[in-house]
Chain A
């Protein structure tokens, strides 16, 4: 139907120019002819008349040219005008149609709004995580993040702190294919002093960073090379736009003011533009010169750490901009070469632990500047991609449903359309009108969808991905554009479905039967759509079930400690560093003070935070073959009351007490698995463990419940040693409060802050935050899959209901005949129900097969459950069948009440 029409249209377009030229020629020829005739009539000879006619006409070629152009322009304009006029008419017709059936329109718009909204939301997230280049960076395609690998795997990729300053300087010196090379490192630092002190995100960047990114300051200036020199740079800082606005009210006179960051007073010299957050996704409060920030930060670690000299102090990340025309491959090869040269230099000065070059196989990788895209994609990004695919499925279902509704509507209007056809409305116009209607509906759905995305985005922002800087919004023009394209696509796709039906409509028979004629074939198409919907619902609900169960598995996992109501306290020493005796003293005082506070049940000193930091090493057991103990043991230096604070049970013997002090007998408490691993089946109490060959025996005095320090399958092999016998450079306290830990922060922190000497700063964070951030990706999956799954279920139920209801209305006479012939109400209900359930069952089977096929790919994202979990599948089947029954029940009951008299008379 359409193709020949389209072909003619194109032929016309090609021929139009020739046509115009001929008409212009005709007009000029006619004029000359008429003139000659006129002159001949005035007794001029034909030859003279011809010459005179040409003379009076003037330049024929020039005239032909201008006339041609003029006619072309005019025709084009007329064409557009006609098109606009007919489109406008179509739109008004469509709008009238929509107004006439508001229920239908609402169903379509809401369905599409949910589908489009879900997609726009997920697109916003994926765009932010994986697609959108960092805001404000000039020509981001040329910028790469450098990853360095040696034989022992990716170096510190997950920690985000991979290279040493020395390495960065080596690379900068030996790489030739880059126009800019810069280093950056981000970290929370304490801003301000005393009561007003707060932790803020700080980015330490090399001076070259500004030229590499091409950012311009909105106020003041950026720092230059001379301010970023060893040993400790110049204390100047550039504020992030958001921090400038919130802390300084966006005032221009901040330039020259002092800002305490960490242990140093910095002078504010500039402000970055709005939306610029360095090269990461989190917003940055202030940028400081790399050397200045590092000197201040590493001072807290004591003089042993020579950050600017030692290769093994890895922390910063290297960013490069390739020279114009240099491919990623060429730059990678060059960077690998620079890396090798750097390793050779390292071999001269710091050979310890370096393998031979051929064993190391050093390799540089130039990854995307977006860290979440990295050589290894982050789990949140992976889950987001899955969700994007899932939201695509939801949209597909929504479109199927809308197509179904439109088909039903087109069938109801078959008579009206037949009449319009009979009075001479061309098929092209009819099709254009139908497409206009579906597109108009889809666009309305798109607008509503954008609202859905607005709220959905807010939900995602606050609950699921709170760490990201959303100041530039989930919601930018890219998301709007995406939603617009999706809406138009949905309009066209759904609009085409009824058109296929109408194309084959026979006007005469449609008029005769009132549009009941060819419904059989049509409901087959609609039922196919239903089967697909059922299948998609199964896939989504299975996904939702798997993620929800994973999330529950993670949550209900016995960690061996109770993170709820526990605060972790940390101290950042600033300015004058404390010596070890002072630190010890301070830690003891802090613990004593904490115990006096109301609402504090237990307090204890510690070092490592489960799920966040760890101290692991192999141990030595006298009389035991060391090769049997290859495992890494987790060592936790703790004070008295630690197990009670964490909520870990003591199983045998005693725990660490205040009596265990420096100089008393070294002791250790083992976790159950640790004891079992060393002495299977034997009582460990009284036996000896060493941390190294040369260190003294630590006597085992007790065993405790197993704990987990990560979501890995095995409990960690845990050892608790008295912190007094293993002095630590860091102060860390754990406090168990009676109420909610987050609320107690306000009570605990100021009271401990009072004890701080100089500018030292106390931080207090709920222990649960450290654990929760670890299961964010499961929570994201569980929440979003459930939302999408329920959406899909709703859409499928509405679709099923509308199809079954329509079928019943079409079969009124047949059912009437059955009732007249003695069929009972129950029999009629069963007949209709069976119809609906049969369609859904087919979809169930299809969906289950697809879900099983995808199972292996989703399993790595789950926790303690396989993608083929039978309970989940059984539950989904049950839910879907129940919903199918319910959706068919209403029309079935209506069918059972058919009055045979009315039904038969209607014929």
Chain B
């Protein structure tokens, strides 16, 4: 099993938004998608994901609706709202700039005299 990466606080929200930018999904689909993408390195309890989903819904970044899966099961589908999409954009920019800065510093060549 690969090393487990515990999530930096607040990043789960962005990851969920990113996942949903591909289209409406239910909770398990999102979990599976994230696991798939991270190669299983993200250590997230499923319950935390659901709490994140509902929190985002409360903030108006997601909307939810009950629908049917391919197997005809009732599931709650989440969609990105307009506000959610905008939020994802700003958060992504911020995240990239942050990581770029951090990695610049961490990988900087030793100062030459």
A residues whose Cβ falls under 8 Å from a Cβ of B: 23, 26-28, 30-31, 33-35, 38, 56-60, 62-63, 66-67, 70-71, 73-74, 77
Q: Are B51 and A63 in contact (CB under 8 A)?
A: yes
Q: Are A34 and B28 in contact (CB under 8 A)?
A: yes
B residues in contact with A74, CB < 8 Å: 54, 57-58
A residues in contact with B28, CB < 8 Å: 30-31, 34-35, 38
Question: In whole angstroms, what is the CA distance A30 to B25 when docked?
Answer: 13
Listed A/B pairs (17) with beta-carbon separation below 8 Å: A26-B74, A27-B75, A30-B26, A30-B27, A30-B28, A30-B73, A31-B46, A35-B31, A57-B47, A58-B46, A58-B48, A62-B47, A63-B47, A66-B51, A70-B57, A70-B58, A74-B54
A residues in contact with B51, CB < 8 Å: 63, 66-67, 70
A residues in contact with B47, CB < 8 Å: 57-60, 62-63
Q: Are B45 and A56 in contact (CB under 8 A)?
A: yes
For the complex formed, measure the closest distance between the CB of A80 and the CB atoms of chain B, giving whole angstroms: 13
Extra A-B contacts (15), CB below 8 Å, given A30-B28, A31-B31, A35-B31: A26-B74, A26-B76, A30-B75, A31-B27, A34-B28, A35-B46, A57-B45, A57-B46, A58-B47, A59-B47, A60-B47, A66-B54, A67-B50, A67-B54, A74-B57
Question: In whole angstroms, what is the CA distance A31 to B46 when docked?
Answer: 9
A residues in contact with B94, CB < 8 Å: none
Question: In whole angstroms, what is the CA distance A59 to B47 when docked?
Answer: 7
Residue total for B at the interface (Cβ-Cβ under 8 A): 20
- The interface centre, meaning the residue of B27, B28, B55, B73 with most chain A CB atoms within 10 A of its CB, is B28
Q: Are A73 and B50 in contact (CB under 8 A)?
A: no
B residues in contact with A34, CB < 8 Å: 28
| Given A66-B51, A70-B51: A27 and B27 interface contact (C-beta under 8 Å) | yes
In the complex, chain B residues 15-34 whose Cβ is within 8 Å of any chain A Cβ: 26-28, 31-32
Question: In whole angstroms, what is the CA distance A70 to B45 when docked?
Answer: 18
Residue of A nearest to B55 (CB): A70
Q: Are B73 and A73 in contact (CB under 8 A)?
A: no
Partner of A38, one of B32, B50, B75: B32
Question: In whole angstroms, what is the CA distance A431 to B31 when docked?
Answer: 48
Question: In whole angstroms, what is the CA distance A62 to B27 when docked?
Answer: 17
Q: Are B46 and A23 in contact (CB under 8 A)?
A: no
Q: Are B32 and A27 in contact (CB under 8 A)?
A: no
Question: In whole angstroms, what is the CA distance A131 to B51 when docked?
Answer: 55
Residue of A nearest to B28 (CB): A34
For the complex formed, measure the closest distance between the CB of B38 and the CB atoms of chain A, giving whole angstroms: 14
Q: Are B50 and A63 in contact (CB under 8 A)?
A: yes
For the complex formed, measure the closest distance between the CB of B13 and the CB atoms of chain A, giving whole angstroms: 14
A residues in contact with B32, CB < 8 Å: 38
B residues whose Cβ falls under 8 Å from a Cβ of A: 26-28, 31-32, 45-48, 50-51, 54-55, 57-58, 66, 73-76
For the complex formed, measure the closest distance between the CB of B41 and the CB atoms of chain A, giving whole angstroms: 15
A residues in contact with B73, CB < 8 Å: 30, 33
Chain A contact residues: helix, strand, loop or mixed: helix
For the complex formed, measure the closest distance between the CB of A901 and the CB atoms of chain B, giving whole angstroms: 62
| Given A30-B28, A58-B45: A23 and B50 interface contact (C-beta under 8 Å) | no
A residues in contact with B75, CB < 8 Å: 27, 30
For the complex formed, measure the closest distance between the CB of B20 and the CB atoms of chain A, giving whole angstroms: 16
Residue of B nearest to A56 (CB): B46
Residue of B nearest to A74 (CB): B58
Residue of B nearest to A57 (CB): B46
| Given A60-B47, A63-B47: A70 and B74 interface contact (C-beta under 8 Å) | no
B residues in contact with A27, CB < 8 Å: 27, 50, 75-76
Question: In whole angstroms, what is the CA distance A89 to B44 when docked?
Answer: 45
B residues in contact with A30, CB < 8 Å: 26-28, 73-76
B residues in contact with A67, CB < 8 Å: 50-51, 54
A residues in contact with B27, CB < 8 Å: 27, 30-31
Q: Are B54 and A28 in contact (CB under 8 A)?
A: no
Partner of A70, one of B26, B31, B54: B54
B residues in contact with A23, CB < 8 Å: 66, 76
Question: In whole angstroms, what is the CA distance A34 to B57 when docked?
Answer: 22
Residue of A nearest to B66 (CB): A23
Partner of B50, one of A26, A31, A35: A31
Question: In whole angstroms, what is the CA distance A26 to B73 when docked?
Answer: 11
- The interface centre, meaning the residue of B54, B58, B66, B73 with most chain A CB atoms within 10 A of its CB, is B54
For the complex formed, measure the closest distance between the CB of B7 and the CB atoms of chain A, giving whole angstroms: 14
Question: In whole angstroms, what is the CA distance A56 to B32 when docked?
Answer: 12
A residues in contact with B76, CB < 8 Å: 23, 26-27, 30
Question: In whole angstroms, what is the CA distance A51 to B45 when docked?
Answer: 14
Question: In whole angstroms, what is the CA distance A77 to B60 when docked?
Answer: 11
Question: In whole angstroms, what is the CA distance A60 to B66 when docked?
Answer: 21
Question: In whole angstroms, what is the CA distance A63 to B50 when docked?
Answer: 8
Residue of A nearest to B46 (CB): A57
Question: In whole angstroms, what is the CA distance A23 to B74 when docked?
Answer: 10
Question: In whole angstroms, what is the CA distance A31 to B76 when docked?
Answer: 10
Question: In whole angstroms, what is the CA distance A576 to B38 when docked?
Answer: 107
A residues in contact with B57, CB < 8 Å: 70, 74
A residues in contact with B66, CB < 8 Å: 23
| Given A27-B76, A38-B32: A71 and B54 interface contact (C-beta under 8 Å) | yes
- The interface centre, meaning the residue of B50, B58, B76 with most chain A CB atoms within 10 A of its CB, is B50
- The interface centre, meaning the residue of A33, A59, A70 with most chain B CB atoms within 10 A of its CB, is A70
Residue of B nearest to A69 (CB): B54
Question: In whole angstroms, what is the CA distance A73 to B59 when docked?
Answer: 11
For the complex formed, measure the closest distance between the CB of B28 and the CB atoms of chain A, giving whole angstroms: 4
- The interface centre, meaning the residue of A27, A58, A70 with most chain B CB atoms within 10 A of its CB, is A27
Ranked nearest first, the 3 interchain pairs of A and B with the lowest CB-CB distance are A58-B45, A63-B47, A58-B47
Question: In whole angstroms, what is the CA distance A66 to B55 when docked?
Answer: 10
Question: In whole angstroms, what is the CA distance A786 to B93 when docked?
Answer: 76
Residue of A nearest to B26 (CB): A30
Question: In whole angstroms, what is the CA distance A471 to B54 when docked?
Answer: 57
Question: In whole angstroms, what is the CA distance A67 to B27 when docked?
Answer: 13
Question: In whole angstroms, what is the CA distance A35 to B50 when docked?
Answer: 14
B residues in contact with A38, CB < 8 Å: 28, 32
Question: In whole angstroms, what is the CA distance A188 to B92 when docked?
Answer: 81
For the complex formed, measure the closest distance between the CB of A23 and the CB atoms of chain B, giving whole angstroms: 7
B residues in contact with A35, CB < 8 Å: 28, 31, 46
Question: In whole angstroms, what is the CA distance A584 to B104 when docked?
Answer: 112
Residue of B nearest to A81 (CB): B60
Q: Are A28 and B50 in contact (CB under 8 A)?
A: yes
For the complex formed, measure the closest distance between the CB of A483 and the CB atoms of chain B, giving whole angstroms: 39
Residue of B nearest to A30 (CB): B75
Question: In whole angstroms, what is the CA distance A73 to B60 when docked?
Answer: 12
B residues in contact with A66, CB < 8 Å: 51, 54
B residues in contact with A71, CB < 8 Å: 54
For the complex formed, measure the closest distance between the CB of B61 and the CB atoms of chain A, giving whole angstroms: 12
Residue of B nearest to A60 (CB): B47
Question: In whole angstroms, what is the CA distance A63 to B58 when docked?
Answer: 16
Question: In whole angstroms, what is the CA distance A77 to B58 when docked?
Answer: 9
A residues in contact with B54, CB < 8 Å: 66-67, 70-71, 74
Residue of B nearest to A53 (CB): B46
Q: Are A73 and B46 in contact (CB under 8 A)?
A: no
B residues in contact with A56, CB < 8 Å: 45-46
Question: In whole angstroms, what is the CA distance A74 to B63 when docked?
Answer: 11
Question: In whole angstroms, what is the CA distance A299 to B48 when docked?
Answer: 89
B residues in contact with A70, CB < 8 Å: 51, 54-55, 57-58
